[in-house]
Amino acid sequence: MHSDRDIVERRLRRVLDERIRPAVHALSVPLDVGIWQVPGEPVPVAEGLAADYRPTGAGAHWGPAWTTSWFRLSGRVPEEWAGRRIEAVVDLGFDPSEPGFSAEGLVYRPDGTAVKALNPRNAWLPVTEQAAGDEEFICYVEAAANPLVMHSGPEDHSYAITPLGGRAPWLDEPGASGGEPLYRLRRLDLAVFDAEVYELVHDMEVLDQLMRELPEQSPRRWQILRSLSNALDAVDLQDIGGTATAARAILAPALAPPAASGEHRVSAIGHAHIDTAWLWPLRETVRKVARTVSNVTQLMDEHPEFRFVMSQAQQLAWLKEHRPEVYERAQEKAKTGQFVPTGSLWVEPDTNITGGEALARQFIHGKRFYLEEFGVETEDMWLPDTFGYNAAMPQLMKLAGVRWFLTQKISWNTTNKFPHHTFWWEGIDGTRIFSHFPPVDTYNSDLSGAEVAHSVRNFQDKAGANRSLAPFGYGDGGGGPTREMLARAERLADLEGAARVSIEKPGDFFAKALEEYPDAPVWVGELYLEFHRGTLTSQIETKQGNRRSEHLLREAELWAATAALRTGAEYPYEALDRLWKTVLLHQFHDILPGTSIAWVHREAEETYRQIAAELHELIASAQTALAGPAGADGSEVVFNAAPHARGGAAALGGAVRTRREPATVVPVAENGGHVLDNGLVRIVVDERGLVTSAYDIDADREALPPGGVANLLQLHQDFPNQWDAWDVDAFYRNTVTDLTDAESVTVVDGAVKVVRAFGASRVEQTLSLAPGARRLDVDTVMDWHETEKMLKAAFPLDVRAGHSTAQVPFGHVERPTHTNTSWDAAKFEVCAHRFLHVGERDWGAAVVNDSTYGHDVTRDVREDGGTTTTVRLSLARAPRFPDPDTDQGTHRLRYALVIGADVEDAIREGYHLNLPERTVPGSAEVAPLVSVDSPAVVVETVKLADDRSGDVVVRLYEAHGGRATALLTPGFRIASATATDLLERPRAADEPSCAVVEGGVRLRLRPFQILTVRLVPERG
């Protein structure tokens, strides 16, 4: 027999797409349509239902960008359709290639209850299961004219932005597009749903997809091909409905053979990744959540086997607030086990930039919401789309009662393929969490034959395991699973030649995977994403807002708790809860990394300003209560919220001082430059404003290499191959301009002020050295107006450092400074929080900062045999997508060089830079509410317990990477002390880390251990 494979396959594609699929709704009549365009922001449902509609119909244009239009659809079911299932087909002008990224709608009954959503691949509505004939149908559609800002997919960076600085108008708020409609109504019909044709579609589709994945030499492939060919012959293209049954009968034998007993098992988990903001604003996400949950709960009614996970508590909280009737449906389906709260977090946050305490609160608020609203103790962390994972996460997960971890994003690595799909992830303290990385390589699977087959081929752990997970459902913009996906899953449950697919909950998968593979391999340390490195720098104001909010919240809790115990002041529980949740919301992995449209970031910046203003008020109120009346001598209380003493003020306490002018080191002119010398270090700034010497007087050692200059601003061309705001590609280093020219170098207020201009930008830097400090502070005001450029600040150091040490949440990580392997070379841009340190055995230096996360560390051996290790901070970028005005404007940031520093010094100076002293008129010493006698143990949080019992909660950690024993001394009498989990619940009775002794609480901590201690004050 001659091969006709190509002909049959091409014939099948055309007949299926052009004839059989349309025949599912072949019999139809048009609906009557009315439209009302909302004049501003979205309105309540009742207002939409009561609006004044004008007639419209198929072919009409609607929807300027970001606006909302309401449609009223009505019609009568023809009498001759009696007894048949009737659906409405509503195509608002969808782009079928982009579900969740363009126009969407939510359908309501006349009483205002939600039915389901409409999106590009889900354009049908249930009308009646069995028509009586001549019955009236009416519904309303709240349609969002969301613009298609970007074509999705990792290989496609087709942006809605024109070359050479132009911009698509819909990147901004409503009205920017001039009112031009984006969409045109296509089809709005009542139609008969032909179930037999629908089933034929999926019989053919599943067999076709399976066939194309089988080897050409496989007999099974050719058997399927012949069955499909015969079925096509049986289909009368003029009577598809009448011949569908016969065609299905021909295909039945091909669908009957079961899978081999050893076939790979795929646990299909219904999912809809909903970016809490990205190419749409927060307000639109509120509506996306309502649409998605309406979709999946409707699907659950018809498919009891369907299971769906939702992973962000914030989104469910929005649903409860804005659409309580949809939320009630979710709760009902949770009771049946179909709707599965998961993830354990408030949102799916960035975990590179988010601070340690904030990550703890992500778990606290996420888990507590699920417990209170659904009665569910979540046990997994679901973070498929975050851009890398810090090495403190395993311990935080365990402390929150989380047993399993799922991610997918590491499949986007551009240099090294991650070696495992099921593994134990070990954090910096030694905690291990059982983890899975779905080999389907997407968190938006549609359960196609190609994706299922890819899961099997791609699975890295075949020698020891035979099970993987596939999150299925349209996502990013939401939407979720469809009935078509469930039809595929049903056929792939037990089909020869395919993996066995079963729909189940994440916990079921993880329990089976662990039982099958308990000795899975171990990955130690951070999960570094070899991609999206630009997210450490893009959108300065958003990152600064987060960093400063985290520290302000620390201060507010500390001083409010101290005032509550010392003065009886009221503790602001509600305000702190609300403010924390707002900060956690903005840590979502497309807000904090700086990868959302301008609208999102402008709103975030304004929100951060409001947060700061409210927290400053809370802090001032508590400090005023603690400081007492001002003394006649003009005394003031200096409050120190840092975990290390300074300036006479104890850590976490306040000291009385007589008001005086702050001491400064006055520069001395020398050879056209200036010298700052405080007896500990000597800094030379030349006539160009560059630091030419940073001399450690005690160690008799120069920090800079011969001929080297520090605080050198360097400008790079920054045009990555794709994903502008997300990516920094290694070739950016090929072009660099050293900014050595200065407009002026002057002495101002005891400091050296340097002004530089370049391109369209201007930078003013103030270099100062305080008495008793080994820290050269650089206060930078930057008026940034570059395009596709990146600005770095370089500190070359005369240090042979084999590794750098960077602060991460609750500890630090060491990374090689060499590029021996491709894994090392790929880390050419890395994250550090408050500090990055390099050093030799007995001497080192650190760069600390107040709002910068992107760093790079390189080293070079000089001709004199010495080694130069260069630390650079990434100060600014200028990507054009998705916000063409990214970071344009004025910014202030601070960083510093700490000379002759070990890691302990770097930790201390990082906290001090981020938690400046506060001065309040008063005369009362403020003893710390708690103190710790070991420099290795850092107090991260002091607050009152969330249950409003008045107990004091202290969270601390071992910061140096070694074992520590310390005495925690409360500044009040305690009845008991208990080690707790993150939710402030007692841990196991045999917890050895915390014991009450005379004078306080004895702590024993392993390297980088996080410990939460609940102190019960004596009462009465």
Q: Under a CB-based contact definition with an 8 Å cutoff, are residues 306 and 95 in contact?
A: no
Which pLDDT tens digit goes with each residue over 967-980? Answer: 999 999 999 999 99
- pLDDT of residue 614 exceeding 90: yes
533 alpha-carbon distance from chain centroid: 14
Q: How buried is residue 304: exposed, middle or buried, by Cβ count under 10 Å (0-12/13-18/19+)?
A: exposed
Dihedral of alpha carbons 792, 797, 800, 802, sign: negative
Could you tell me the two tokens for 764? 């003013």
CA-nearest of 570, 311, 537, 324 to 443 is 311
Which pLDDT tens digit goes with each residue over 733-770? Answer: 999 999 999 999 999 999 999 999 999 999 999 999 99
Could you tell me the two tokens for 989? 């009775």
- 432-436 and 500-503 strand pairing: unpaired
Which pLDDT tens digit goes with each residue over 810-861? Answer: 999 999 999 999 999 999 999 999 999 999 999 999 999 999 999 999 999 9
Of the pLDDT bands very low, low, confident and very high (cuts 50, 70, 90), residue 173 is: low
CA-nearest of 1001, 985, 1003 to 993 is 1003
Q: Which of 275, 350, 380, 385 is catalytic?
A: 385
HSE-up of residue 83 (Cα within 13 Å, Cβ side): 1
Q: Under a CB-based contact definition with an 8 Å cutoff, are residues 439 and 468 in contact?
A: yes
Q: What is the spatial distance between Cα 584 and Cα 362, in angstroms, rounded to a whole number?
A: 6
Q: What is the spatial distance between Cα 303 and Cα 467, in angstroms, rounded to a whole number?
A: 24
Interval 934-963 mean pLDDT: 98
- Would you tell me how many other CB atoms lie within 10 Å of the CB of residue 469? 27
Could you tell me the two tokens for 601? 């970031």
The DSSP string of 671-707 is: TTEEEEE-SSEEEEE-TTS-EEEEEETTTTEESSPTT
What local confidence, expressed as pLDDT, does residue 270 receive? 98
Of the pLDDT bands very low, low, confident and very high (cuts 50, 70, 90), residue 99 is: confident
Interval 774-802 mean pLDDT: 98
What local confidence, expressed as pLDDT, does residue 160 receive? 44
When the pLDDT of each residue in the chain is averaged and rounded to a whole number, the result is 95
Q: What is the spatial distance between Cα 618 and Cα 575, in angstroms, rounded to a whole number?
A: 9
Which pLDDT tens digit goes with each residue over 67-98? Answer: 999 999 999 999 999 999 999 999 999 987 77
Which pLDDT tens digit goes with each residue over 19-60? Answer: 999 999 999 999 999 999 999 999 999 999 999 999 999 999
In this structure, what are the phi and psi dihedrals at residue 905, rounded to the nearest 5 degrees?
-65, -40
Interval 457-471 mean pLDDT: 97
Interval 440-449 mean pLDDT: 96
- pLDDT of residue 407 exceeding 70: yes
Interval 647-674 mean pLDDT: 87
HSE-up of residue 911 (Cα within 13 Å, Cβ side): 24
Provide the H-helix boundaries in 645-786.
none
What local confidence, expressed as pLDDT, does residue 86 receive? 97
Query: CA-based Rg of the chain, rounded to a whole angstrom?
Result: 31
Q: What is the spatial distance between Cα 268 and Cα 447, in angstroms, rounded to a whole number?
A: 8
Q: What is the spatial distance between Cα 794 and Cα 711, in angstroms, rounded to a whole number?
A: 5
Of the pLDDT bands very low, low, confident and very high (cuts 50, 70, 90), residue 889 is: very high
What local confidence, expressed as pLDDT, does residue 133 receive? 78
CA-nearest of 756, 734, 855, 844 to 800 is 844
In this structure, what are the phi and psi dihedrals at residue 991, rounded to the nearest 5 degrees?
-60, 115
| Strands in 160-217 per DSSP E | 181-184, 187-192
HSE-up of residue 883 (Cα within 13 Å, Cβ side): 28
Q: Under a CB-based contact definition with an 8 Å cutoff, are residues 534 and 727 in contact?
A: yes
What local confidence, expressed as pLDDT, does residue 218 receive? 93
Which pLDDT tens digit goes with each residue over 255-276? Answer: 999 999 999 999 999 999 999 9
Q: What is the spatial distance between Cα 764 and Cα 742, in angstroms, rounded to a whole number?
A: 10
- pLDDT of residue 992 exceeding 90: no
In degrees, rounded to 5, the angle at the alpha carbon of residue 470 between the alpha carbons of residues 464 and 472 is: 175
Percent of the chain exceeding pLDDT 70 equals: 96
CA-nearest of 423, 420, 492, 424 to 459 is 420
Tell me the three state secondary structure of residue 752. strand
Of the pLDDT bands very low, low, confident and very high (cuts 50, 70, 90), residue 166 is: very low
Q: What is the spatial distance between Cα 549 and Cα 558, in angstroms, rounded to a whole number?
A: 14
What local confidence, expressed as pLDDT, does residue 162 receive? 36
Tell me the three state secondary structure of residue 376. coil
Percent of the chain exceeding pLDDT 90 equals: 91
Question: Would you say how long the chain is, in residues?
Answer: 1020
Of the pLDDT bands very low, low, confident and very high (cuts 50, 70, 90), residue 2 is: low
Is 385 among the residues known to form the active site? yes
Interval 654-659 mean pLDDT: 88
Interval 664-684 mean pLDDT: 91
Q: Under a CB-based contact definition with an 8 Å cutoff, are residues 310 and 341 in contact?
A: yes
What local confidence, expressed as pLDDT, does residue 170 receive? 54
Q: What is the spatial distance between Cα 183 and Cα 14, in angstroms, rounded to a whole number?
A: 27
- Would you tell me how many other CB atoms lie within 10 Å of the CB of residue 128? 14
Integer angstrom CA distances of residue 975 from 334, 387, 603, 932, 946: 41, 44, 46, 19, 19
Report DSSP state, residue 63. Answer: E
Which amino acid type is present at position 685?
Answer: V
430: alpha, beta or left, given left = phi > 0 and alpha = psi -120 to 50? Answer: left
- pLDDT of residue 538 exceeding 90: yes
- pLDDT of residue 153 exceeding 90: no
Q: What is the spatial distance between Cα 914 and Cα 925, in angstroms, rounded to a whole number?
A: 23
What local confidence, expressed as pLDDT, does residue 159 receive? 47
- Residues near 417 by beta carbon (within 8 Å), at least 6 away in sequence: none
- Interhelix angle 240-255/195-213, rounded to 10 degrees, is 40
Interval 193-215 mean pLDDT: 97
- Would you tell me how many other CB atoms lie within 10 Å of the CB of residue 661? 5
What local confidence, expressed as pLDDT, does residue 156 receive? 45
In degrees, rounded to 5, the angle at the alpha carbon of residue 625 between the alpha carbons of residues 973 and 914 is: 90
Q: Under a CB-based contact definition with an 8 Å cutoff, are residues 940 and 956 in contact?
A: yes
What local confidence, expressed as pLDDT, does residue 717 receive? 97
